[in-house]
Amino acid sequence: MPGSTIPKIALEEAFTLPELANNSNGFTGPNGGQDLVQDLLDIQVRRLERMKASGVSFMILSLTSPGPQDEADPEKALALARRANDYLAGEIQKNPSCFAGLAALSMHDPKTAAIEARRAIKSLGLVGILVNDFQTVSADGKQIVFYDQPEWDVFWKEITELDVPVYIHPRLTTPDVSKRFLAGRPGLRGSAYFFAVGVSLHVLGLYINGVFERFPNLQIIVGHMGEHLLIQLWRIDHRFSYNTGVLKPKTEKTFKEVMKTVRLTTFSQLAVFQTANEVNNRTSQSLLVGIMVLLHCFMQSRKSGYKGEVMFSIDYPYETMEQGPKWFDEITDLSQEQKEQIAWGNAKRLFKLNCGT
């Protein structure tokens, strides 16, 4: 395969709807935002060309963040989710040998979310769900919903019956949170830092409120090498073990046990490290340490019983199609079998794909 030694399935790869294109103007991509909107809109031309050139044989697409999660009106949020899912299914049908998709949902109401999830999976043929962290439910952004309370059990029950994974993806904080926590430091609001804070909080909320215990077959995906959770694994359980009363998690499971079932994506952030490595040797040395810490943490967790799976991702078009595969192919710290599982085997099995890799 051109430009690559191992075929790859990439699963954190974004698109946008034509009517949402202007919403992405404030985001930046690898070229400082140049062509980002056009790359989000394009599915069948430049994206396919870059996939072929970079050795990405299959891509799982999802509506770019924040999607319906930033729509405070429940009817409009549902309409957006249905529109996105219908549009995505239509694009996949144009090239099913190269694309699959994750459904967008309005998360205002658990029953409504469950109904659209079933339609997207059973009627449209999408292979999983992606929700962008919390749901905004008030126009001023001060009221938000997480999915870890008992009323959401009807949704999680439906997801486990559908037997599909849910990707909990980051989104920007609300203006209210930004004003209170990030005044004077707006650059921390997005992917540099607060994306990981939001998703980590959400996943830990699912854990301490017993969602993983009530639904042991629930399949959750967390991106960017676990959004800091993997590195904090020991400390989280250690500190929770001291908690009593209302502070004690509502579950008999340790967080480490839960993380054995959580899938991670990686290499979108690590692709950035590789790009920076080419700038100067000093940067290269410090970032290489960061990469090795992540790999060591993952491998040590595997040795101590971590059974979760890691899956290749790029985060296109917020990262370049070229750098992620290039960096991955040059890794020497994993066996060929491990690299093949990360590159395509784990994703193919989890999403029950019929692609040719």
- Catalytic annotation, residues: 315
Cβ 52 vs Cβ 40: under 8 Å: no
Give whole-number Cα distances, 217 to 161, 162, 181, 214, 259, in Å: 9, 11, 36, 9, 12
Q: For residue 100, what is the DSSP state?
A: E
